[in-house]
Structure 1
Amino acid sequence: MTFELNLLATPQAVPELRHHLRAHDFEVGLCVTELLTNVIDHLGHGTPVTVRVTGTAHGHTRVEVTDPDPRALPILLPAADTAESGRGLTLVDHLSQRWGVDQGADRKTVWCELAEPGQPDISGSKISHL
């Protein structure tokens, strides 16, 4: 099942997006929400994005969020125990088999791949920047 939606990154878009993804696993919705929230926090309210959820040849679910700024790259940083924010990418890293960034001249896509329920976790590096 492939899902694609073009929208503006706003706090109001988050629950609407979750509603569209209700047929997917909770982890898929959580990763999409975190990646969309990163766009809102780091690029600004109203940034146009494309959200995609697709299957892979390996039986994983791939989540992608594409935005128009190829320069603002996500960085996985440790969050302090008392921090009220900054855990989104850590959560994506923990839930996903792997994640990364595909850069173009005028866009970037932050993506992650999640195993289907019951599939074993894969080993190796999780971060892939292309």
Structure 2
Amino acid sequence: MTSLSTQVHVHCVGHPAYSQSFPCAPSTAEIGRRVLRDVLGIWRLDNLDDVTERATLIVTELVANAARHTSCQEIRLMVRRPSATRLRVGVQDRAPARLPTLGQADDDDESGRGLVLIDAVADRWGYDLHGSGRRPWGKEVWAEIRITGEA
């Protein structure tokens, strides 16, 4: 039995996707990792340890960044398979003016390495603005992992 709090709907067409809203708080990272593992299990990707480890690190860092750098009350975790060989993990918030930048943390800094870690474990990452071009209402910061091996 999965711990997903909402029912997963299976569609006969398109690519699998799951999303759920959570409080924008550091503690959401733990919930997000659990949800991600459940989704990977449903998609029968949970036997791919490398994918699971990389994706859970990405969830942790994306949630931490949203909690730290936005004043949003809520975020949306999104897990998708845009193709048979790719997994996309994203966090959507309502702070389109706070765009992610790949920074440089000093050795003694306690933070500032989130996107550096994501850049190291993801095959690619970026962000998409949501809403009209002149007045976006939010953004999704995402990272993709290539899926190799048998699922």
Alignment partner for residue 111 of structure 1, among 142, 146, 149?
Answer: 142
Question: Partner of 2:101: helix, strand, or coil?
Answer: coil
Structure 1 letter corresponding to 2:17: T
Alignment partner for residue 75 of structure 1, among 101, 114, 129?
Answer: 101
Structure 2 letter corresponding to 1:27: R
Q: Which runs of 5+ in 1 are unaligned?
A: 119-130
Q: Aligned residue for 1:56?
A: 82
Q: 4+ residue runs of structure 1 moved beyond 6 angstroms?
A: none
Per-residue deviation at 1:3? 2.4
Alignment partner for residue 33 of structure 2, among 18, 28, 36?
Answer: 18
Identity across matched positions, percent: 33
Alignment partner for residue 65 of structure 1, among 77, 91, 101?
Answer: 91
Q: Aligned residue for 1:29?
A: 56
Structure 2 contact 26–63 (Cα < 8 Å) conserved: no
Per-residue deviation at 1:58? 5.8
Structure 2 contact 29–60 (Cα < 8 Å) conserved: yes
Q: Aligned residue for 1:122?
A: none
Q: Which runs of 5+ in 2 are unaligned?
A: 1-15, 41-51, 131-135
Question: What is the distance in 1 between the residues matched to 2:147 and 2:30?
Answer: 23
Please identify the structure whose Cα radius of gyration is greater: 2
Q: Aligned residue for 1:9?
A: 24
Question: What is the distance in 2 between the residues matched to 1:115 and 1:42?
Answer: 28
Question: What is the distance in 1 between the residues matched to 2:19 and 2:81?
Answer: 12
Question: What is the distance in 2 between the residues matched to 1:90 and 1:32?
Answer: 14
Per-residue deviation at 1:60? 1.0
User: TM (normalized to structure 1)?
Assistant: 0.82
With 51-60 and 96-105 compared, the bigger mean Cα shift is at 51-60
How big is each residue's C-alpha offset from its partner over 1:76-101, in whole Å with a ceiling of 9 and x where there is no partner? 01111221111111001111111111
Structure 1 contact 39–47 (Cα < 8 Å) conserved: no
CA 1:78/1:58 → structure 2, altered by over 3 Å: closer, same or farther? farther
